[in-house]
A and B are shown apart, each in its own frame.
Chain A
Amino acid sequence: MIRFENVTKAYKGGTVALREVSLEIDKGEFVFLVGPSGSGKTTCLRLLLREETPDSGNIWVAGREVGHLSHWRIPYLRRNVGCVFQDFRLLPNKTVFENIAFALEVIGRPRHVIATQVPQVLDLVGLAKKRDNLPGELSGGEQQRVAVARAFVNRPLVLLADEPTGNLDPATSQGIMRLLDRINRTGTTVIVATHDQGIVDQMRRRVIELDQGNLVRDQARGLYGYGTATAEQPSSRAAE
């Protein structure tokens, strides 16, 4: 589903975000991307969304090399890669329903499809009763659920989450992770970049750890623990 081949990315000023990173993520996997601030987690997600291009190496998403994708194809890539952020990024003047519907409307889905799919995804995230509320009237956890619903309503192949629990308390964070887990069980590949040790340790899913742009650990059913590389490295070529 996703493959990084010797990917290097440096920003202006010489900061190297990723160095020769190679990894592979299969369809339907749930992966935690961990590491300290500045380790390259967000850069990985931005490369997958084609917000950035690699300086060298190749990135493959669903069989398509995205690093050299032409500009007009980028929107079509993003329809297959949903994304959730720490700050939710909801539109404050639109209701919950409208926020989710907006994601379908702007890619040209007909009204009857919107009328069918939005209630379904609202049921999935448990916000059917709050469909007419504005984001400002919701709790942080509920707003993040709306953001997840918006990212998932188009049924993307991959769902990226950049610090999705960064603004939430531990109990609410667990609720969001259960939601992402449920989405993952529908066959969607989920990649979560996080600093939240609690949820990583609790869920025991594959963990990829970055440090100063280097891939330092790729562990199935891993724990958070910075720099505690273990022998269990099921799928990473970088770990070979």
Chain B
Amino acid sequence: MSLSVDYIARETASNLWRNRLITFAAVLTVAVSLSLVGAAMLLRQGVANATVQWQHGVDVIVWFDPAANGAPQPVQHAIAHELLALPYVRSCIYRSQSFDLAEAHRILAADEAQALTTGTTPASERCALNNPNEAQAIWQQFRGQPGVQSVFYPGQAIRNMEDVTHVLQWVFLVVAVVLLVSASVLIVNTIRLAIFARRREVAVMKLVGATNWFIRVPFMFEGLAQGLMGAVLAAIAVLALHWRLDVLASANRQSVWHQMRMSTPDVVVTTLAVLAVGVLVGSLGSTLAIRRFLTTDRISA
């Protein structure tokens, strides 16, 4: 049995056109749900990128008291030795006031950084840990110690942000899954309507000996086309979202968007994943409909 591309294209297009309203609804539902999936994937990738950028391999920062600047260096040396003596500290690096001031100018908004001078900017000891979870122990040990202004471990902030994004991701994914199930049901219903609308033709096909595949393939492609069309719209939405974030990131290099900036491969992978899920949902919906509503032995319309 030869199944020509021309025949499949003609029949699929005809089916889609006959049920255009419900097809539109199914495509839109697939598009919305896959846009959420894509957004969740981008968010996750962005947070991962930001985390890497923020940490720079530093797990804990001990800020020296600027009031003690110019005061006995031994205090700072002692703290540095004390830090290095801890078994879970891998390495530490000293950053001078001028370095920290330059960094503050780079990170902070211009009006905030303007108020800072070398005199008011603390020097710091930045340490990498063998186990970043021990950062809290350092915080407890060194905070309030003479010569120490504060102890900061970005891991905590990052973990807070990761917790928030983790919850957001799950919310996105749960909503997306619910919408994808709705989209599948809509596709099942669309195919069911298409089968019903063409029941006379299907009956004649069975009567004259068309194979099951010949009868089924146009309906399968209809579901596939709906999934793919929804996925293409979702892919466009994902690309638009990425483009928008890129614009925001370029506008302000200190913004969180800049930290979250995604690479081209990240976006390509997300887009391909969205397209693949769309095709999967469409195929699944049409396969279910065909198995349920297109019995092939009986001829009766």
Contacts and interface: CB of A to CB of B under 8 A. Distances in A.
Interface of A: 49-51, 71-72, 74-79, 82-83, 89, 91-92, 102-103, 105-108, 150-151, 154
Contact of B208 (A50, A51, A79): A79
Contact of A72 (B3, B205, B212, B301): B212
Contact of A79 (B7, B209, B214, B298): B209
Contacts of A105: 7
A91 B200 CA distance: 7
Nearest to A83: B207
Interface in B251-283: none
Contacts of B214: 106-108
Contacts of B115: none
A75 B212 contact: yes
Contacts of B203: 89
A63 B206 CA distance: 22
Given A77-B209, A107-B209, A51 B204 contact: no
Contacts of A108: 1-3, 214
A106 B296 contact: no
14 contacts: A51-B300, A75-B210, A75-B212, A78-B207, A79-B209, A89-B204, A106-B209, A106-B210, A106-B214, A107-B210, A107-B211, A107-B214, A108-B2, A108-B214
Contacts, number: 67
A49 B300 CA distance: 12
Closest 3 CB pairs of A and B: A79-B209, A78-B209, A106-B210
A198 B299 CA distance: 29
Contacts of B201: 91, 102
B106 to A, nearest CB: 70
Interface residues of B, number: 24
A162 to B, nearest CB: 11
B208 A150 contact: yes
Contact of A51 (B215, B299, B301): B299
Given A75-B210, A78-B206, 16 more contacts: A49-B299, A51-B300, A71-B212, A71-B296, A74-B296, A75-B211, A89-B204, A103-B204, A103-B208, A105-B7, A106-B208, A106-B214, A107-B1, A107-B209, A107-B211, A108-B1
Interface of B: 1-3, 7, 200-201, 203-212, 214-215, 296-301
A79 B301 CA distance: 19
A83 B300 CA distance: 12
A105 B209 CA distance: 11
A75 B210 CA distance: 6
Instruction: Name the residue among A83, A92, A107, A151 with the largest chain B CB count within 10 angstroms.
Output: A107
Contacts of B296: 71, 74
Contacts of B2: 108
B216 to A, nearest CB: 12
Given A108-B1, A108-B2, A108-B214, A74 B297 contact: yes
B207 A89 contact: yes
Contacts of A151: 208
A82 B201 CA distance: 16
Contacts of A102: 201, 204, 208
A51 B301 CA distance: 12
B297 A107 contact: no
A50 B209 CA distance: 11
B217 to A, nearest CB: 11
A75 B299 CA distance: 11
Contacts of B7: 105
Instruction: Name the residue among B201, B204, B298 with the largest chain A CB count within 10 angstroms.
Output: B204
A78 B297 CA distance: 11
Nearest to B3: A108
A77 B2 CA distance: 18
Contacts of B209: 75-79, 106-107, 154
A150 B296 CA distance: 20
Nearest to B207: A83
Contacts of B211: 72, 75, 107
Nearest to A74: B297
A154 B208 CA distance: 9
Contacts of A83: 207, 299
Contact of A91 (B3, B204, B298): B204
Contacts of A107: 1, 208-211, 214
